[in-house]
């Protein structure tokens, strides 16, 4: 039985270069019996909505509100976030491709190693919060990973995801070098959320994320009460290779559909305008499948191969 308490750790101590940065606090709030849940933001440093919300949540949740142990890290990739960058400014790494990390690796690999080796083994659930960052606009959605080895099993995780209140639950192939992929390999269930408009912070999106997170934490049992679990039926969508539409060449994107729109196979998604007078005609990008528009590139100019956007096909 753990007495109610709050402890803090300065994550700058995890890496040798930490003191080149401002404090980044991991907050652990404990009280009695219950699950251990790790909530992490800022793996991509330019995804600021979760970082704002998690600093707020770390302040407002008192030990008396917790059952078990809640670990909050607003900005694990602080070497990126504190410099306004998606990637680490110490080694250029995309942190969400460095898991499980390495104890003697680059700064980003050490931070990943800290999560995967010191924290994941203690946890019943990982919550990894993402947004579109500077590159993308993303429909708010949730997805997750679990298997029969996980203490939060597949059916329980599905029920938890419904409770958060997102309009979309996404099903997608996991990537082993991501935080959630690494967690699953270690037998730890996870949920990951997306959402956010790219660029400026939207207060309504912050409120939605805060409310959804509190619903999710309450449903996971790590806080004693939260907003009531959602009763709305989410739309389940699967994202595979046929849902991605990369730019065939450098160009300037004009989107013809809005985030969340339902499009039919063959629908015009975007036009890629030429960036020069080399004679290229504007290129129309059409959807290969029926689906909802989940993600769009937030920039006008895109490089060949960059994702213009992706859809998600309804799951029957
Ligand atoms: Zn991200």
- pLDDT class for 136, splitting at 50, 70, 90? very high
Q: pLDDT, tens digit, for every residue of 165-204?
A: 999 999 999 999 999 999 999 999 999 999 887 678 999 9
What pLDDT is recorded for position 45?
96
Residue 138 has pLDDT above 90, yes or no: yes
Q: Which domains does the chain have, with CATH numbers?
A: 5-236 (3.40.630.10), 240-314 (2.40.50.100)
Q: pLDDT, tens digit, for every residue of 239-291?
A: 999 999 999 999 999 999 999 999 999 999 999 999 999 999 999 999 999 99
Cα(157) to ligand 1 centroid in Å equals: 21
Cα(64) to ligand 1 centroid in Å equals: 32
Lowest mean pLDDT among 83-87, 142-146, 175-179, 227-231: 227-231
CA atoms of 215 and 160, how far apart (whole Å): 9
Give the end-to-end CA distance of the chain in Å, rounded to a whole number: 45
Residue 221 has pLDDT above 90, yes or no: yes
Cα(194) to ligand 1 centroid in Å equals: 8
Residue 133 has pLDDT above 90, yes or no: no
What pLDDT is recorded for position 228?
83
Cα(131) to ligand 1 centroid in Å equals: 6
CA atoms of 268 and 259, how far apart (whole Å): 14
DSSP string, 9-33: EEGGGGSTTGGGS---EEEEEEESS
Cα(138) to ligand 1 centroid in Å equals: 10
205-224 average pLDDT score = 96
Cα(95) to ligand 1 centroid in Å equals: 9
Cα(135) to ligand 1 centroid in Å equals: 10
């Amino acid at each position: 039985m753990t007495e109610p308490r709050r402890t803090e750790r300065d994550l700058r101590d995890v890496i040798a270069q930490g003191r080149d940065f401002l404090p980044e606090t991991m907050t652990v709030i404990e009280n009695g019996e219950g699950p251990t849940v790790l909530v992490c933001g800022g793996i991509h440093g330019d995804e600021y909505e979760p970082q704002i919300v998690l600093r707020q949540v770390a302040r407002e949740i008192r030990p008396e509100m917790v059952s078990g142990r809640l670990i909050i890290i607003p900005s694990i990739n602080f070497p990126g976030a504190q410099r306004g960058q998606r990637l680490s400014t110490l080694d250029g790494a995309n942190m969400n491709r460095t898991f499980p990390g390495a104890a003697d690796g680059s700064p980003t690999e050490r931070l990943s190693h800290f999560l995967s080796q010191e924290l994941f083994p203690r946890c019943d659930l990982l919550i990894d919060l993402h947004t579109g960052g500077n590159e993308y606009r993303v429909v708010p959605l949730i997805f997750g990973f679990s298997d029969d080895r996980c203490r939060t099993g597949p059916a329980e995780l599905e029920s938890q995801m419904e409770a958060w209140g997102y309009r979309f639950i996404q099903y997608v192939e996991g990537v082993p070098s991501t935080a959630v992929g690494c967690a699953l390999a270690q037998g730890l269930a996870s949920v990951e959320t997306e959402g956010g408009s790219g660029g400026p912070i939207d207060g309504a999106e912050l409120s939605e994320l805060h409310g959804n997170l509190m619903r999710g934490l309450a449903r996971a049992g790590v806080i004693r009460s939260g907003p009531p679990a959602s009763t709305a039926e989410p739309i389940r969508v699967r994202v595979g290779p046929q849902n991605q539409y990369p730019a065939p060449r450098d160009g300037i994107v004009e989107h013809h559909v809005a985030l969340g729109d339902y499009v039919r196979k063959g629908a015009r998604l975007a036009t890629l305008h030429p960036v020069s007078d080399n004679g290229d005609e504007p290129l129309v990008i059409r959807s290969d499948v029926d689906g909802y528009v989940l993600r769009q590139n937030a920039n006008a100019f895109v490089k060949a191969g960059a994702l213009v956007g992706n859809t998600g096909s309804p799951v029957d």
